[in-house]
Amino acid sequence: MKVGIIGAGAVGSACLLSLVTGQVAREIVLVNRTRARAEGMVADLQYGATLGTTVDLTAGDYADLKGADVVLITAGVNEKDGGATDRDDTDGRLRLLEENAKVYRDIVPQIVAAAPDAVLLVVTDPPDPLAELALNLAGHDKVVSSGTFLDTQRLKFHVARYLGVHASAVEGLVLGEHGTSQVFVWSSVRIAGIPLMDVLGYGEEQCEKFQKEIEEEVRHANITIIEGTGASQLGIGVVAARLTRAILYDERLVLPVGSHVPEYGTTLSVPSIVGRQGIVRRLTPHLSESEKQLLAESARKIAQSMKDAC
């Protein structure tokens, strides 16, 4: 199985490392606008890769993507360089859209020309409107945004840490935009099937305070990371590799990832069955009335960003 990665920056390198250590693919091609950087990264990792299953690592050009099953797109300006690290900025990652849309208009046609059957996995921020743009540029519907998969894992982590349980015991979803308008589906959060609020045993005021604190942690986790390390990369690398495996092996996992949702007229994250062709089927989550409104608002925000920037 063959995977391509476009972009050898912080996120691209994290995706490459996670794909190799996770033993996800038999062949990986790394494409970067500066070929020397891709070659150096491959040279560095190929020695450690000998400790796992056989994998061919190549620094190549777009033509070398021929036969790829999945292509991860990570290229573009990041949050720090793009000025998207202000907690009070309601645009958040969407501030990067105009610049990164230019990159995608150049990249996507070249990918499709070399690997017309590949599933395109959009990882660059902001992934949702960029996936919508990639869908239009690619001329096919095998386009997936990493969406709120990572946000959902962050939600599970913080709830689990608060309760002192393993994150696998937490059932929960973050939907909509991978950004400031993301929707926390508190109405369906469960701990081993038990409603979260029953486990907490809190009154309404305490519950609201708890939810707000968790939302702040999750919504601005990327900024906290960037303030410490300069780039939010490792978590998304692991998530992107896991999503790639689900596609390659037709796992039919149900994940909160982004694709074009006709009901909303744009790309956003909803629970989706992920398989060999990308999105096999989108599921309709049970939402409270307020959550329905927030998801619709998130969709409108993504759609409007497309109109403004693209």
As annotated, the active-site residues are: 178
Q: Is 293 helix (H, G, I), strand (E, B) or coil?
A: helix
| Calpha distance 71→112 (Å, rounded) | 10
Q: Could you tell me where the DSSP H helices lie in the chain?
A: 10-21, 35-48, 97-114, 127-138, 149-163, 196-200, 204-219, 221-229, 234-248, 289-309
| Cα–Cα dist 89/86, whole Å | 5
Q: N- to C-terminal Cα distance for the chain?
A: 34
Judged by DSSP in three states, 193 sits in coil
Q: How far is CA 57 from CA 20, 68, 206, in A?
A: 9, 13, 52
Outline where 79-148 has alpha helix (H): 97-114, 127-138
- Looking only at the bridges linking them, the beta strands covering 27-31 and 2-6 are parallel
